[in-house]
Amino acid sequence: MRLRRIISSALVRQSLCSSTKGVRPAYSQASYGDMDNPLNKHREMFFFHEAIRCFWLGYTERFKRFSVKCLDMFGHLPQFFNTYQIKFYHGLHLIETQKKKKSKETVRLAIAGMRDAASMSEKNFTNKLQLLEAELYSFEKKSDLAIASFDAAIASARNSGFTHEQGLACEKAGFHCRKEKDRGRALKYFQQARECYEEWGSSMKVDSIQKELERLNI
C-alpha cells in the first residue's frame, strides 16, 4: 500500500513539474490504449491518474468528469486504495460546490467514507479525514474547530510524509483565514504551503501560492 501511495504521488508531481502551463500530462492517453473499450484493463488507472492531475491543476470540470468515472468503475470496491483516494479529492470538490448549494449531506457522506478508510489505515487517511472535517467546519462558520482540524491535518500529513497533502492543508487553512479576515494567520499558512510545494517540487503550485501571498501583502 505504501508503494502504491508513493507511485501515485510521484506521478502527480511529475505531471505538475513537467508542465509549465499546467496543460500537458506527463503521460499520453494513447499509452493506455482505447479508453472506449470496456475490456481495456488500463482504463481505471488512466481515469484515476487523470482525475488526480486535474484536481491539482485546478481543472474543476475535468476533475469532476474523471472522478465520477472512477467512482462508477471502482467506487463499489470499499477496500480498494484508489477508491478512498478519489473519495478524498471528490469530497474536497463537493465542499467547494456545495458552498453555493447550501447542502451538506453529500459532504457528510464523503467524510463518513474517509472515516472508514482511516479506521483501516490511520497513516494513509487520517490527515485526509481531518482536512475534510476542517473544510466542513469552515463551511459551517465554526472557525475555532476549523483551525484545530486544519492544524491536525497538517501535522498528520507531515507525520505520514505526505508533503503535497501537507501543503494542501496549509493552503486550505490559508484560504479559510483570509475569508475570516485573519491576515496574519493566512500569511503563515500560505508561507507553509509554499515551503511544502517547493519541497514537493511543483513550481506551478509554488507560483500559485506566491500570488496569494502577494495579494495579502498589497
Q: Which of 7-11, 66-70, 140-144 has the lowest mean pLDDT?
A: 7-11
Over residues 63-81, the pLDDT tens digits come to 999 998 888 887 666 667 8
Give the per-residue pLDDT at 126: 97
Q: Which domain holds residue 16?
A: 2-217
Do residues 136 and 142 lie in contact, with contact meaning Cβ atoms separated by under 8 Å?
Answer: no
Higher pLDDT, 82 or 9: 82
Over residues 198-208, the pLDDT tens digits come to 999 999 999 99
The domain total for the chain is 1
Give the per-residue pLDDT at 25: 52
Give the per-residue pLDDT at 107: 80
The cell numbers describing 140, all together, are 459551517
Q: Which of 44-48, 98-102, 190-194, 203-207 has the lowest mean pLDDT?
A: 98-102
DSSP 125-156: HHHHHHHHHHHHHHHTT-HHHHHHHHHHHHHH
CATH number, domain containing residue 18:
1.25.40
Question: What pTM did the predictor assign?
Answer: 0.82
DSSP the chain: -HHHHHHHHHHHHHHHHT-TTS-S-SS-GGGG--TT-TT-TTHHHHHHHHHHHHHHHT-HHHHHHHHHHHHHHHTT-TT-HHHHHHHHHHHHHHHHHHHHHT--HHHHHHHHHHHHHHHH-HHHHHHHHHHHHHHHHHHTT-HHHHHHHHHHHHHHHHHHT-HHHHHHHHHHHHHHHHHTT-HHHHHHHHHHHHHHHHHHT-HHHHHHHHHHHHHHH-
What confidence category does residue 218 fall into, taking pLDDT thresholds of 50, 70 and 90? low
Separation CA 188–CA 146 (nearest Å): 16
